[in-house]
Amino acid sequence: MTKELAVIVKEQFERAAGRHRDRVALVYEDESVTYGALNERANRVAHVLAARGVGPDVVVGVCLDRGIDAIVSLLAVLKAGGACLPLDPDYPAERLGFMLRDADAACVLVGPGGDRRLDSVDVSRIELDWASAALVEAATTDPASAPTESDRAYIIYTSGSTGTPKGVEIEHGALGDLAAKTARLLELSVDDALLQFASMSFVASVGQIFAPLVSGARVVLRGRRLRGASALRAYIVDKGVTVLWLTPSMIKYMSQPGDGSIAGLGAPLRLLRSGGEALTRSLVDNWFAQGSIPILNVYGPTEAVQDITANLITGPVPTVTMGRPIFEVEVLITDDAGDPTDGDAGELLFTTPGMARGYLGQEALTAERFVWRDTAHGRRRFYRTGDIVRRLPDGQLAYVGREDRQVKMLGNRVELGEIEERLTRHPAVVHAAVVVVPWLADEHRLVAYYVAGPDHRSGVPDLQQWCLQALPSYMVPTTYVPIPELPITANGKLDRKALSELAAS
267 CB-contact burial (10 Å; exposed 0-12 / middle 13-18 / buried 19+):
exposed
Quote the pLDDT of residue 157: 93
Nearest in space to 476 (alpha carbons), one of 485, 488, 487, 463: 463
Quote the pLDDT of residue 1: 36
Quote the pLDDT of residue 370: 96
Quote the pLDDT of residue 205: 93
The CATH H-level superfamily of 330-351+369-402 is: Luciferase; Domain 3 (2.30.38.10)
d(CA 418, CA 390): 29
| Residue ranges in the chain modelled with pLDDT below 50 | 1-2, 259-260, 491
| Three-class DSSP category at 500 | helix
Give the N- to C-terminal CA distance of the chain in Å, as an integer.
55
Quote the pLDDT of residue 376: 77
d(CA 60, CA 105): 5
Nearest in space to 291 (alpha carbons), one of 264, 258, 320: 264
Was domain 12-225 assigned CATH 3.40.50.12780? Answer: yes
Four-way CATH pick for 407-504: 2.30.140.10, 3.40.50.300, 3.30.300.30, 3.40.50.720: 3.30.300.30
Q: Where in the chain is the domain with CATH 2.30.38.10?
A: 330-351+369-402
Quote the pLDDT of residue 47: 97
d(CA 85, CA 209): 15
Report the chain's C-alpha Rg in angstroms. 23
Full-model pTM: 0.82
Q: Where in the chain is the domain with CATH 3.30.300.30?
A: 407-504
| Three-class DSSP category at 348 | strand
Q: Residue 435 forms beta bridges with which residues?
A: 447
Contact 217/194 with Cβ under 8 angstroms? yes
Nearest in space to 23 (alpha carbons), one of 190, 235, 238: 190
Q: Where in the chain is the domain with CATH 3.40.50.12780?
A: 12-225
Contact 72/80 with Cβ under 8 angstroms? no
Quote the pLDDT of residue 78: 97
User: How confident is the model over 357-406, as pLDDT tens digits?
Assistant: 999 999 999 999 999 998 877 889 999 998 888 898 899 998 877 766 66
Quote the pLDDT of residue 163: 62
